[in-house]
Amino acid sequence: MDLRELDTPALLVDVDRLDRNIAAMAKSFAGSEVALRPHAKTSKCWEVARRQLDAGAVGMTCSTAAEVTWLRAHGVTDLLWANVPVGPGKVALAVEVARQGGLTVTLDSVEAARPLSTAAAEAGVTVPFLLEVNTGHARLGVEPDHAVAAAEAITALPGLRLRGVLTHEGHIAASADRTSLEEAGTAAGERLVAVGEALRLAGHPIDVVSVGSTPGATSAPFVAGVTEARPGTYAYHDANQVRLGSTTIDRCALTVLARVVSVQRDGRAIIDAGVKAMSSDTIAVAGSVGVAVDPAGVPLPGVTFAEANEEHGFLFHSGGFAVGDLVRLVPNHACGTTNMWSHAYAVRRTEVLAEWPIAARY
C-alpha cells in the first residue's frame, strides 16, 4: 500500500532511518566498556525495542510503571526504572518485578525509599537501586555533596541494595552551541563518576555509573568510569535533535502524515494535524510545531509549521499548496508525539509495510 491511501493524520516510522539510527548508536558503543540501555519511552513500540535489543542493547530503560509492565510482558529481563517509584501501585510493582529478578529502580531520598523498603522487607525481597545525582538538570537527584549522606540513610533501611549512580544530563540541551554542549556532557559525566568514587570510598560497592540522553551520547558516556548510556530519542531523532546538532533532518524516522484541508487565505495552508497529533512539547522553545517535509521525506524549504490548534495545523508558505496535498511533519520532540498515538505505520519512503502498536501510554 502507498501512504497516499492512508487516512490522515497518521503516525509514520521510516524503517530504514530507524534501523540506521539504531545501528549507528549501537556501533558507537560496540567495543567500548559502556553498555547501551536505550530509553523505551521514545517509541513505546515493541518493534523498535526488539530491534534495539537485537542490535546489542543490554536491556531497556523505563520511565513509567506501564513501560515496566509492558516490557516485562515481552520478556525483557534487564530493566532500569529510571524514575522514583512513589505511591502504592508503583511500590507494589517495583517489589513484584524485583522479586522475579532483573529490575533496578531509582531513588534520590530516604523519604521516597521508606515505603519501598517497608514493602520489600515485608515481601522478603531486596530491591536494587541506583542513586540519582543532579549533575545540572536539577530535576530529580541529590546534590553531589549530599550523595554519601543520602546513600547512608537509604542503605540503612532493609530491603534495598545500592548498585550505583545515575544522572540525566538533560540540561546540556540549553548549551549555546555544540562545542559547549559536548563540554557540558563531559562535565556531567565527570561529576557522576566523582560521586561514584566518593561512595566507593565510603564503603559502598558501586558497579553502575549510568548517564543518559541523546545530545549527551557523544560525550557523557565516554568519561572514564561511566559504565552505561541511556539515550532514547536517537531511535527516531526529531527536530530538536537536528537543532542541537545530534543528527540531520534526513535521519529523522518519525513523522506525522497530514493532508491540506483548506487554503482560504494566501500564504496559509490548513492541515489536519494539530497539537493532538504532534503534542505541544517544546513548541514555545522551537518557535514552530515541527518541520514540514514532502511525502517522500524531503524537506520543504519556505514552509513553516507555525501554529497548531487541536486538530488544525497552520503551514505558512510562499505558495503552492492545494486541498488534498500530503505533507509529513517531523515533530520537535519524538517522545511526546509517540505518546499521542495508539499505533504507527512502518513505511519505507512512501510504501506502507506494517502497522505497529504503541503500548504503555497514559
Binding site for ligand PLP (CB under 6 A): 39, 61, 82, 168, 170, 212-214, 230-234, 335
The distance of closest approach from Cβ of residue 217 to ligand PLP in the complex, given in angstroms and rounded to an integer, is 7
In the complex with ligand PLP, which residue's Cβ is closer, 220 or 260? 220
77 Cα distance to chain centroid: 19
Which residues sit opposite 350 in a β-bridge?
Answer: none
The distance of closest approach from Cβ of residue 254 to ligand PLP in the complex, given in angstroms and rounded to an integer, is 13
The distance of closest approach from Cβ of residue 358 to ligand PLP in the complex, given in angstroms and rounded to an integer, is 16
In the complex with ligand PLP, which residue's Cβ is closer, 36 or 270? 36
The distance of closest approach from Cβ of residue 246 to ligand PLP in the complex, given in angstroms and rounded to an integer, is 8
The distance of closest approach from Cβ of residue 46 to ligand PLP in the complex, given in angstroms and rounded to an integer, is 19
Q: 3-state class of 80 per DSSP?
A: strand
- The C-alpha atoms of residue 145 and residue 49 are separated, in whole angstroms, by 36
In the complex with ligand PLP, which residue's Cβ is closer, 8 or 135? 135
In the complex with ligand PLP, which residue's Cβ is closer, 82 or 199? 82
The distance of closest approach from Cβ of residue 121 to ligand PLP in the complex, given in angstroms and rounded to an integer, is 27
Diameter of the chain measured on Cα atoms = 70
CA distances in angstroms from 18 to 62, 72, 279, listed in the order given = 20, 23, 21
In the complex with ligand PLP, which residue's Cβ is closer, 170 or 196? 170
Burial class (CB in 10 A: 0-12, 13-18, 19+), 133: buried
In terms of C-beta distances under 8 Å and separation of at least 24 residues, what long-range contacts does 172-180 make, across chains too? 172/136, 172/213, 172/215, 172/216, 172/219, 173/213, 173/215, 173/240, 173/244, 178/244, 178/245
The distance of closest approach from Cβ of residue 283 to ligand PLP in the complex, given in angstroms and rounded to an integer, is 17
Q: 3-state class of 340 per DSSP?
A: coil
In the complex with ligand PLP, which residue's Cβ is closer, 84 or 315? 84
- Answer yes or no: are the C-beta atoms of 330 and 239 closer than 8 Å: yes
- The C-alpha atoms of residue 333 and residue 11 are separated, in whole angstroms, by 14
In the complex with ligand PLP, which residue's Cβ is closer, 135 or 214? 214
- The C-alpha atoms of residue 192 and residue 220 are separated, in whole angstroms, by 9
The distance of closest approach from Cβ of residue 168 to ligand PLP in the complex, given in angstroms and rounded to an integer, is 4
- The C-alpha atoms of residue 94 and residue 312 are separated, in whole angstroms, by 41
Instruction: Cite the beta strand spans of the chain per DSSP E.
Output: 10-14, 35-36, 60-62, 79-81, 103-107, 127-132, 160-166, 208-211, 228-229, 254-262, 268-271, 290-293, 304-308, 313-316, 326-331, 343-348, 351-357
In the complex with ligand PLP, which residue's Cβ is closer, 213 or 227? 213
The distance of closest approach from Cβ of residue 1 to ligand PLP in the complex, given in angstroms and rounded to an integer, is 31
In the complex with ligand PLP, which residue's Cβ is closer, 61 or 255? 61
Q: Where are the alpha helices (H) located in 46-177, listed in sequence order?
A: 46-54, 65-73, 88-100, 110-123, 147-155
